[in-house]
């Protein structure tokens, strides 16, 4: 079961911004990982030059409003946020991914099945080894 975020009010946006603030400079990669269309990301970039936080906020609004192929890539969820934070788009920030997962944990929060590497550390509290087999296997989530 995934915790699905519905765009209800600014509380969701505030939680997302707080969770993803360390990766704000990568807003374009985050938008791509959330499957937003490149032309829309170009529009977002043009609307907020020099302000990665504002661009990231706009990315989250697009994502929460489901302005992407939801049927193919699924609903917005905290599981996806965790996966993106642990991916190159989020700066491979495992500590932040762990923090987000702990805050939004569900009984069947199985990250390893979602993003291609063993991320059981997110719920267990131990960090993954930097084995060559794990490098580069985190994929962006749909």
Q: Residue 7's closest CA among 58, 83, 44, 73?
A: 58
pLDDT tens per residue across all 142 residues of the chain? 455 554 445 567 888 888 888 899 999 999 999 999 999 999 999 999 999 999 999 999 999 888 899 889 888 888 888 889 899 998 888 888 888 877 776 534 444 444 444 444 444 444 444 334 443 333 333 3
Q: What are phi and psi of 70, to 5 degrees?
A: -65, -40
Helix 38-47 / helix 52-64 crossing angle, nearest 10 deg: 140
């Amino acid at each position: 079961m995934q915790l699905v975020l519905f765009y209800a009010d600014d509380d969701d946006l505030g939680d997302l911004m707080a969770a993803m603030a360390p990766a704000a400079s990568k807003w374009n990669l985050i938008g791509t990982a959330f499957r937003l269309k490149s032309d829309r990301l170009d529009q977002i970039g043009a609307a907020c030059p020099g302000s990665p936080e504002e661009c990231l906020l706009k990315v989250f609004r697009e994502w929460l409003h489901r302005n992407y192929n939801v049927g193919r890539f699924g609903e917005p969820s905290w599981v996806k946020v965790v996966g993106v934070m642990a991916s190159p788009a989020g700066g491979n920030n495992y500590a932040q991914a762990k923090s987000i997962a702990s805050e939004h944990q569900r009984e069947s929060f199985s990250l390893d099945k979602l993003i291609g590497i063993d991320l059981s550390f997110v719920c267990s509290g131990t960090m993954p080894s930097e084995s060559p087999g794990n490098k580069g296997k985190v994929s962006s989530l749909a």
